[in-house]
Amino acid sequence: MFRLCATADVAEGQSKGLESQGQRLLAVRKEGVLYVYENRCPHRGIPLEWQADQFLDSSGSLIQCATHGALFLIDSGECVAGPCSGQTLRALPVVERDGVVWLQNDQ
């Protein structure tokens, strides 16, 4: 397992950009659950954010690609609007233990 960040680094309703083993990731906490995805839009293969840690739409209820406006469900990574509709973000397995978020290396 690889250490990603402290559990407290991703507050409820917030998003954060992370990096592990040279891979760009994004983390979002919703209803106490931490979701981690590869920071890569399935439409163009580019990072989702323009500004650091800004991955959510204005309502804070969806992940948004800043380039083309695609919207993704936080809990599944499924694109529900935009040019990659029906595709999904690549979810990564994480474990929160003793105040630390760990990326499982069985990817």
- The fold adopted by the segment(s) 2-103 is Rieske Iron-sulfur Protein (2.102.10)
User: In the chain, where are the structural domains located?
Assistant: 2-103
Tens-place pLDDT, residues 24-64: 999 999 999 999 999 999 998 999 998 999 999 999 999 99
**CB under 8 A, 24+ apart: contacts of 94-97:** 94/4, 94/27, 94/34, 94/36, 95/1, 96/7, 96/34
Q: In the block, which residue shows the tokens 């380039």?
A: 67
Q: What is the rounded CA–CA span in Å between residue 32 and residue 94?
A: 14
Tens-place pLDDT, residues 62-100: 999 999 999 999 999 999 999 999 999 999 999 999 999
pLDDT at residue 105 in the model: 78
